[in-house]
A and B are shown apart, each in its own frame.
Chain A
Amino acid sequence: MARPAVLRKPLGFVGRYEHKPGAEKNRTHYCPGCGHGILHKLIAEALEDFEITDRAIMISPVGCSVFAYYYFNAGNLQVPHGRAPAVATAVSRANPHAVVMSYQGDGDLAAIGGNHIVQAANRGENIAVFFVNNAIYGMTGGQMAPTTIEGMKTTTTPYGRNPLTDGYPMKISELLDSLHAPVFIARTSLHDPANIRKTRAAVRKAIQYTIEKKGFSLVEVLSMCPSNWKMDAVSSQEWIRDVLIPVFPLGTLRDRGSEAVEMKRPVPTFDPAKVREVLGVGGGKQKALARRRVDPKYADPSIRIAGFGGQGILSAGTAIANVGLEYGYNVSWLPSYGPEMRGGTANCSVKIREGSIGEPEATQPTVVIAMNRPSMEKFEQILKPGGTLIYNSTLIEVEPGRKDVETWAVPITGIADGLGNTKVQSMVAVGAFAGVTGLFGLDDIKGLLPAMFESEAMVLLNEKAVEAGYDYVTGMRR
C-alpha cells in the first residue's frame, strides 16, 4: 500500500489511549524528550506499513515502557520484570503466525531478565526484541543499570560507577553476538535524524525477519532519558553522541537474514493420554469415569483447603483436583505462596467445573476444609453463604462462628492416627469431601490410588484413609 504524502501518527498506534487512566487520552505518559516515544513511533509505523496490526503481539516489560500497551494497536501483554522473552517465547510457539515483539529496558533486559534474554536468543526464538539502552533505571528514579557507563553518577552510584565495585557497562549486543542462533543484532541510536532513520531501518528489518520466521532479532537502541540524566532533551542527544556511543559503538553486529531460512519447529502436539501417563494420573487411560448425580448445592465447587504445613494440605488439593479430572471435569489447583507459608500454614484453592474456569483462586469458596483452628477462623469468613465447612475437630475445639453455612465436624487427624499414620490425614479429608459432596464415588477414588502412590503398602493405607473419612461423614448423614 502506497503511503499517502503525509507523515502522520501511524495506525500502529491506537487513536485515543483508552486504556490510559485519567482524562489525558491523547498524550503518552513519557517525559518530554524521552526516547521511548520515538522508538514507539518507528515500531507503530512498521506495524502499519507491513499490515500486521491484527497479528502483531507486543510484550510490554516493567520499566517506563510498562504501559506500552496503552499505545500499540496490536495484541498486548504486560509481563513481570525481565520475563518478556519467556512470554514472547510462549506466544510465538503457541501461535507461530503471530509477529511477536518484546520491548525491554536495560534494567529489565540486562539485570533482572539477563538470563531470560540469553536463553531466548540461544534458542533462536522467532521474536523481535527492542532493547532500550538508556544506561539507567528510568522508572524507579535513576539507579545504576548494568549498562551504566564508568564514572556515571546515578542514585546508587553517587560517586560515579566504579568498575572495581560495580563492574563494567554490559554490552548486551556483543554478548548475544557470541551465540549461534540469532539472525539479526544491531545497535542504533536516537541522537539525531540520520540515526533515527537507521534505527527505523533496523526496526523494520527485525520485524521483517520475524514475519518471515527467520528467528531471533534484537535491536539495541541508545535512547534519551532526560529526566534521570538531568539534562534537557537536546543535550541528552548530544550526550549520547559524545559519551555513550564511544562505549557502545553503533552498527550491525550480525545480519544473517539472507542465509536464514524459515524456521520450522516441530509442531507442538497435545496428547491428553500422554500427559496423564507422564503425570501418573489415571495410568494413561483415556476414558473418563461416569459422572455421578450431584446435589446442585455441591456442584461446581470452589474449594479452599487450609491447615499447617505438613498436614498434606497441598496434596489433598491435588488429589481432589486429580479425581475431578478423572470424571472429565475442568479443574484447577492453586497453592498459596503467601507470606503465611513462612509461619507454617498452607492453603490451596481447587476448582472443579462443568464449564470453563476463569480465576483459579477460590476467593469466595463454596467448600472450606479447615485442618486447624487459625485456618478455620480465617477461611470461614470468606465461605459463601449456604456453603459447606468441613473442619478437623481433632485439632479445632471451638465451634465455627458462621451459622449460615453447613458444618461438618470430622476428627480428621484422629482418624488418621487410628490408622497408624498421621500423614494420611490428607486422604481422610479427601474421603470426607467425597462423602459430604457426593461428587466422587468411594470406589472410583480407590481405583485411582494405584496411580497416585508407588508402593502397594501406601496404596492400601490410603485406601483405608479415604474410606474412613468417607464412612465417617456418610455415617453422620444417616
Chain B
Amino acid sequence: MGEDRRYPFCEIDQEECKGCGLCVASCPAKVLEIDQGKLNSKGFHPSSYKGQGCLGCGNCFYTCPEPGAVTVYLKGYVPEEVK
C-alpha cells in the first residue's frame, strides 16, 4: 500500500484507536472521519483517513490521546523502501 501514498499522509492504527473523535475535530482539512461501519476488537468505531488531502499539520497527532494510534508522515517523508 506504501506505493500509492501521497505525503503528507495520516495513518490511523484502528486497533489502538478509541473512537473519541478528537482527531476528526482537530483536522483543518476535514480528511478524518469516524468509520461508523467498522468496529475494532474493543468495540470502538475507529477513526479513518480519507486517503488524500492531509496537510501534514500534525493536529491529529498531538490531539490524539492514544500514544500510538496516529502517525503522520510529513511532507518530504521518504519511505524506507525508496531510500
Q: Distance in Å from the Cβ of A352 to the closest Cβ of chain B?
A: 47
B20 within 8 A of A: yes
- Contact across chains for A5 and B22 when beta carbons are under 8 A apart: no
- Contact across chains for A13 and B67 when beta carbons are under 8 A apart: yes
Q: Distance in Å from the Cβ of A442 to the closest Cβ of chain B?
A: 64
Q: Which residues of B contact A232 (CB under 8 A)?
A: 20-21
Given the contacts A26-B16, A28-B66, A7 and B61 also touching, CB distance less than 8 Å: yes
For A, the interface residue count at a CB cutoff of 8 angstroms equals: 36
User: Which of chain B's residues 12-35 have a Cβ closer than 8 Å to chain A?
Assistant: 15-16, 18-22, 25-26
Tell me the interface secondary structure of chain B in the complex. Answer: loop
- Contact across chains for B18 and A32 when beta carbons are under 8 A apart: yes
A334 within 8 A of B: no
- Contact across chains for A233 and B72 when beta carbons are under 8 A apart: no
A200 vs B63: C-alpha distance when bound (angstroms): 11
A31 vs B26: C-alpha distance when bound (angstroms): 19
Q: Distance in Å from the Cβ of B63 to the closest Cβ of chain A?
A: 6
The 7 closest A-B pairs by CB, nearest first: A37-B65, A33-B20, A32-B18, A32-B20, A9-B68, A233-B20, A193-B59
Given the contacts A33-B18, A193-B26, A234-B25, A27 and B63 also touching, CB distance less than 8 Å: no
Excluding A35-B65, A41-B64, 11 further A-B contacts by CB distance (< 8 Å) are A5-B74, A7-B61, A27-B66, A28-B67, A30-B65, A32-B44, A33-B18, A33-B20, A40-B67, A226-B20, A233-B20
Q: Which residues of A contact B67 (CB under 8 A)?
A: 9-10, 13, 28, 37, 40-41, 44, 71
A278 within 8 A of B: no
Q: Among the listed B63, B75, B78, which residue makes an inter-chain contact with A196, where contact means beta carbons less than 8 Å apart?
A: B63
Q: Distance in Å from the Cβ of A20 to the closest Cβ of chain B?
A: 12
A196 vs B57: C-alpha distance when bound (angstroms): 13
Q: Among the listed B19, B57, B62, which residue makes an inter-chain contact with A32, where contact means beta carbons less than 8 Å apart?
A: B19
Q: Distance in Å from the Cβ of B52 to the closest Cβ of chain A?
A: 18
**CB-CB nearest in chain B for A223:** B65
A33 vs B18: C-alpha distance when bound (angstroms): 8
Q: Which residues of A contact B66 (CB under 8 A)?
A: 27-28, 37
**CB-CB nearest in chain B for A226:** B20
Q: Which residues of A contact B59 (CB under 8 A)?
A: 193
